[in-house]
Chains A and B, each alone.
Chain A
Amino acid sequence: MGNWIIAPVVLPALLAPLIVLAMRHDIVLQRTFGLAGTAGLLALSVALLQAATVNPPEVYRLGNWPAPFGIVLVLDRLSALMVALTAALALVVQLYVVGTGWDTRGRHFHALYLFQLMGLMGAFLTGDAFNLFVFFEVLLIASYGLMIHGGGAARLRAGVQYIAYNLVASTLFLFALATIYGVTGTLNMADLAQKVAVLPEGDAALARVGGVLLILVFAIKGALVPLHFWLPATYDRAPGPVAALFAIMTKVGAYAVIRVYTLIFPPDTPATGALFADLLLPAALVTLALGALGVLGAPSLGRLAAFAAVASMGTLFTAVALFTPQATAAALYYLIHSTLATALVFLVADLVADRRADLSLRRVLPPVAQGGLIAALFFGAAIALAGMPPLSGFLGKLLILEAARAQAGLVWTVVLGASVLLILGFARAGSTLFWKAHEIPPEEAQTHAPEPLSFVAPATLLAAIAVLAVMAGPVTRWLEATAAQIHEPAPYIRANDLDGATP
């Protein structure tokens, strides 16, 4: 694909400043170019997806410097999948933003949005450990801006906490990278893979520390207990569509774990062995349980959605922590599902929030305008997130349970038990919001502009979830090939041409 590999980074990186330069005073231009940019990203990512499907991993050397000395991007099935998923989600959410006028509630929304996408794309595509840090920072700082978009007391306080927590995470990231560099003397992921595999015995302990510090960074991103505390308030207080986009942010953590701990620290590494799985699996199960409890006890729809996100990350990491091709394939299927479903529930929550005094589940308020449609969307989101049939959540859950046969006793109990709590929680919330409201005489009924676009977006997500279920066969076949590629890193490393050509 040559230069196309970096296009998903460069396109928003050039478009965003252009918007700042030329169109910051005209919302229509911003919307037009913003949507066009995201649509362009989607087109690019589809092309990359096709390329990654037919070709082995392909390396793009920035500045034409050879790996491991320069920085490389690597396009393989995994990165292509993440890029495409991001672009697709971004476009839908952006439509919602335009449809609801969220982008008029503060400055520079579309520029920040594009920068956010640039950061995500860069993080998914890079093949260099330190460059991964840089793009983590890009996507984080953009997310800070988006999170406090529109301002407001509660949101700003939550924003300060979000930033402070993540600055600590970034610091930890640097500690981890420096440790790993201090042991191996390199930063390129493929090179790291080679070196870590043949590490002198005496360096094992330090390598283990580096690896663990790094996985903790990703655990913070992925909101794993006990490093998840930043999530509920942030997602609850962030603007609805931003929270919806953040559905992919937690997945960055999951992606990074899958990438680094199958490529650099695979379970058969002498120095590290099963260390990471031993840490990850219990944490993931606790995360799932806590998320489910949070859904059950949620005081407001915003919190409910946030904890549902936590729970789905727990499920996802449960599959990731098994580190087998079968489990990874299941994890990736669930990752796609979880991204769409989480985004959907936040968009629905925002639809409600705009039509209701607040999102509290403790008080009964009159039925919201367009309540029938919103209730239907919520029902869909609830089914998806509780992992009930017929949507992809159920299939994803089955795939994970199937992949976890080895630890069936523990994993099955937690996963199925959590499903019970999720079902109870969503049923309670739905009946309070959409049924109990009808106890109030209709003359108090609310009115609200229909804003068709704002319904097209969540409907699209729901449709996508349904399609993911219907097309489960081909999708899982593709993902199995992807998982195989992930767990067989030799081609990835070879593509980096480490001991080779001069520039």
Chain B
Amino acid sequence: MIPDPTPYLPGLEAVVASAVGLLTAAGVYLILRQRTFPVILGLTMLSYAVNLFIFASGRLSTAAPPILREGVTTYADPLTQALVLTAIVISFGMTAVIVMMALGAWFETGDDRIDGDGGPDGDGGRTGGGGRP
């Protein structure tokens, strides 16, 4: 039995879904920018979006944390929460790497454009370092 919903408000699902959509859209827009930093922000936004998405795919519930208590029978889906945790951690590691990579590219090339096929044709990637020590 659902507590009487305030009639003119959209359901919680709609609210969450719209948030997911908005975050996704913002993320996609940012990853289409031409500098590394906004792209990284965009990827962060996308990870928010997808984390909410996974979480919501376990369906929503309020005030039912999956921590076992006496006499409580309804709990939120713990599995999707575990999946989101894993996803968060992984995306943290990925963010850290791409941030450093962006710094590296910035220092190596002197600009932070993300487009472009740096260096002359097929030097086997040997321009600027990478040669035999």
Contacts and interface: CB of A to CB of B under 8 A. Distances in A.
Direct contact of A and B (CB under 8 A): yes
Interface stretch (A73-81, A177-185, A308-316): A177-185
Contacts of A153: 105, 108-109, 118-119, 127-129
Interface residues of B, number: 49
A144 B97 contact: yes
A151 B129 contact: yes
B-side binding surface: helix, strand, loop or mixed? helix
B47 A358 contact: no
Interface string A431-470: 0000000000000000000000000000000000000000
Interface residues of A, number: 56
Interface in A285-320: 299-303
Interface stretch (A55-63, A156-164, A368-376): A156-164
A300 B108 contact: no
Contacts of B98: 160, 163-164, 167
A156 B128 CA distance: 10
A302 B104 CA distance: 23
Interface string B18-56: 000000000000010000100100010011011001101
Given A160-B114, A177-B54, A178-B80, 11 more contacts: A157-B119, A158-B125, A160-B101, A163-B94, A168-B46, A171-B47, A178-B53, A178-B54, A179-B57, A181-B79, A349-B124
A164 B101 CA distance: 10
A178 B39 CA distance: 24
Contacts of B125: 150, 152, 154-155, 158, 236-239, 302
Contact of B36 (A160, A171, A174, A179): A160
A494 interface: no
A-side binding surface: helix, strand, loop or mixed? helix
**Which of B124, B126, B128 is packed against the most chain A CB atoms within 10 Å?**
B124
B4 interface: no
Contacts of A361: 122
Interface in A196-232: none
